[in-house]
Chain A
């Protein structure tokens, strides 16, 4: 075997910095208006809009603006967030009418000359301000059995898989269960009965996994009147997904798999 190890040694810093700039240069600041949909069932059954005028920086995200509003203006403002880096899926919300993660939406990418509207995601019961009851969403997720089910003997070592077999479902492994897709779906808004894109994405993750043996069961579950056939291919889910998952494509592949199994 010939040595293939020709990668150059990485430099200490990949960015050439002029002396004196330690990374803390002047960051432009600007004023933004944050319009937040507020709801507190202990005070009123009606929601209302609150406006916060904030001075923010070019590197800030909508989540930073929410933090500033909560920490410096109104401590009762409620929203979920955990990782603040687009990993945990806690802070999906409707930002200027689109479902986005607050922690992945830079203010500079929005039109800051107008108020930035922030609402809870649609289609799930609002509990307070930007917090919704995620239980119906997770119920559909649980119903598709999002875990490896295998028949036959337990292997004595890792279940190996070829790179091609892994590639088959790579896209749908990226889901962080933020509910941005399901709560952007007009079919889900109607009555909340539809399993929703996220459940189908996570079923896809196992249906197309060569190590899993319960694909048929999951296809049967999704061949329901509230399953894949309710999808109207509007692409709202694909547009909403913060992980860039081709959600509508995954749904189409599951539809195809149901058909192939039946016909």
Chain B
């Protein structure tokens, strides 16, 4: 049996195909994604800890939280903007973070595509629903049955 004893010279350009990079990526997407994680992280520290402080510590603290408390906050444009910023930044930050994790752990392009599609759909649903709720929330909708409404609506 003829066994080939030929050893290819280094720099022969012979590279295991799974290691070949196909072309170069264009644009600065990954750079901006990296930057966004850091900037949104800084803003989220303020937003999240401000949120936790106001909800859990100020006044009666956690015991004050009920339907009326949330309704009250969303009647105030300040908290509407605060919560909207928190929602969008946390969602985009979290989504990008999970995108990175998928890229890091999925070994096949097909797996990557599938997982990322599910991720983007889920994020889109949460962002759209959350935004709608923040802006259209009405604690006392007109024409609702009286026994379903909180007590302050009758005032």
Determine if A139 and B19 form an interchain contact, defined as CB atoms under 8 angstroms apart.
yes
Q: Is the CB of A224 within 8 A of B15?
A: no
- A190, B28: Cβ atoms closer than 8 Å: no
Q: Would B30 and A229 count as touching, CB distance under 8 A?
A: yes
Report whether A229 and B104 are in contact in the complex, using a CB–CB cutoff of 8 Å: no
What sequence of 0s and 1s flags, for each residue 225-258 of chain A, a beta carbon within 8 Å of any chain B beta carbon?
1110110100000000000000000000001001
Does A47 touch B at the CB level, under 8 Å? no
Minimum CB–CB distance from A237 to chain B (whole Å) comes to 15
Chain B hits for A223, CB < 8 A: 28, 30-31
Instruction: Enumerate chain B residues within 8 angstroms of A138, measured Cβ to Cβ.
Output: 10-11
Contact partners of B29 in chain A: CB under 8 A: 225
A144 at the interface (CB under 8 A from B): no
B21 proximity list for chain A (CB < 8 A): 193, 224, 226
B47 at the interface (CB under 8 A from A): no
* CA A78 to CA B65, docked complex, whole Å: 68
B84 within 8 A of A: no
Determine whether the beta carbon of A193 is less than 8 Å from that of B25: no
Decide yes or no: A229 and B19 within 8 Å by CB, A186-B104, A190-B107, A224-B25 being known contacts.
no
CA distance A133 to B100 in the complex (A): 28
Q: Mark B21-35, 1 if CB is under 8 A from A, else 0.
A: 100110011110111
The answer to whether A125 touches B16 (Cβ under 8 A) is yes
Inter-subunit contact B14/A232 (CB<8 Å): no
State whether B104 touches A262 (Cβ < 8 A). no
Given known pairs A190-B104, A190-B107, A229-B34, the reply for A135 and B28 (CB within 8 Å) is no
Contact of A149 with B by CB under 8 A:
no
B16, B21, B24, B33: which has the most chain A beta carbons within 10 Å?
B21
Whether A135 lies near B15 (C-beta < 8 A) is: yes
Is A191 on the interface with B (CB-CB < 8 A)? yes
- Inside 8 A of B66's CB, which chain A residues have their CB? none
Q: How distant is B146 from chain A, measured CB to nearest CB, in Å?
A: 56
CB nearest neighbor in A for B112: A191
Return the CB mask of A203-235 against B: 1 if under 8 Å, else 0: 000000000000000000101111101101000
User: Interface on B for A, CB 8 Å cutoff?
Assistant: 10-11, 14-16, 18-19, 21, 24-25, 28-31, 33-35, 100, 103-107
